[in-house]
Amino acid sequence: MQVLTVARKTGKQSVLLERDIALLSAATVAGPKEGLGPLAADFDRICSDNIMKEESFEKAERHMLEEACYLSLGKARLTPDEIDLFIAGDLLNQVVTASFCARKLAVPFLGVYGACSTLAEGLSLGAMLVEGGFAKHVLVGTSSHNCGAERQYRYPTEYGFQRPGYAQWTATGAGAVVLGSGGEGPRVEAITTGKVVDSGIKDPLALGAAMAGAAADTIYNHFLDLDRNPSYYNTILTGDLGGIGKKLNEDILAGKGYDIRANYADCGVLLYYPHQKAGSGASGCASSALVFLSHFYRKMTAKKLRKILLVATGALHSPTTVLQQESIPCIAHAVSLEI
């Protein structure tokens, strides 16, 4: 029986980790549009098209996630056999990208669903399971594909649906990260697990606005639980609020007494250039994966940024709940990373 120090629960929603749980490696595979964006130089691979010689967009997404997983394992100098748990999720019905990728990896697998908050949910769970001694190495992965997601949630892209300017663009790509104890990478230092927050928005194209309340609630409770202020972090990084949701999040937090504007960024705002016609910005599980696991992970390992609060956000609706005129429940999970 091992005797170890374990996590401290702090406040209602947060835990502090004590055992130097690190992101040992990270890898990103970006779609072609993402590869034309401002972060192109930070991706490990950029796909030249959306289909990757596969028979369907769904299989192309799976291909991207598998590649991100193997790239991440390679960087950590680990084989799948050395992975105790694979934690993954995506947007497709029945989370099939993750499940089929788990079939290929053939390691113990826990499927999660947090919509676009999946990266933070996976990092949270993986870090806690390593900290608790339940696993030595955990692989976390997530992905989304514009063409697969659009035809499932809204219309096939071939239909040419006219998108309103406030809509977001589901990012195409995948990211994976290996968690373990020790090593040189950024540490998962604290975790705040989100509650579902529903702001009453029913428009499934206004996801940034719908998710802003959940992001603000999690960030607020993170500050409260850990007695921190926005200035504690070099960057507070939300997942995919886009321009509209980012502004709303700033406003809600200002109303609660926290001005985050000085060091606040949103992955959805950063992934594309304005001329790329991505509306209010990127969305999808790949938004936070492509931006955090490339650009910000590199900045952290280069010690140019030392403290980041990653707050990935997810809209937990389905096309059926939208047709049934339900409002959109949203969630955000926060992971504090330090190096």
Residues that bind its own copies (CB under 8 A): 1-9, 12-13, 15, 18, 55-56, 58-59, 84-85, 89, 92-96, 99-100, 102-103, 106-115, 121, 124-125, 128-129, 131-136, 152, 193-196, 198, 316-321, 324, 326, 329, 331
Tokens for 324, please give them. 């049934």
Alpha-carbon dihedral sign for residues 196, 200, 205, 208 = negative
Least distance in Å: CB of 95 to its own copies? 4
Tokens for 320, please give them. 């059926």
Give the residue with the Cβ less far from its own copies, 12 or 261.
Answer: 12
Alpha-carbon dihedral sign for residues 178, 181, 186, 187 = positive
Beta bridge partners of 18: none
Least distance in Å: CB of 270 to its own copies? 26
**Which residues, in sequence order, are CB contacts of 44 under 8 Å at separation 6+?**
27, 28, 29, 68, 71, 294
Query: Which amino acid belongs to residue 188?
Result: V
CB–CB of 302/164 below 8 Å?
no
Give the residue with the Cβ less far from its own copies, 108 or 255.
Answer: 108
Least distance in Å: CB of 59 to its own copies? 7
Give the residue with the Cβ less far from its own copies, 128 or 270.
Answer: 128
Give the residue with the Cβ less far from its own copies, 124 or 172.
Answer: 124
Least distance in Å: CB of 98 to its own copies? 8
Tokens for 158, please give them. 């071939």
**Which residues, in sequence order, are CB contacts of 109 under 8 Å at separation 6+?**
85, 86, 87, 88, 98, 99, 102
- How far apart CA 187 and CA 320 sit, in angstroms, is 39
Least distance in Å: CB of 125 to its own copies? 7
Give the residue with the Cβ less far from its own copies, 116 or 339.
Answer: 116
Gyration radius (Cα) of the chain, Å:
18
- How far apart CA 128 and CA 126 sit, in angstroms, is 5
Least distance in Å: CB of 10 to its own copies? 11
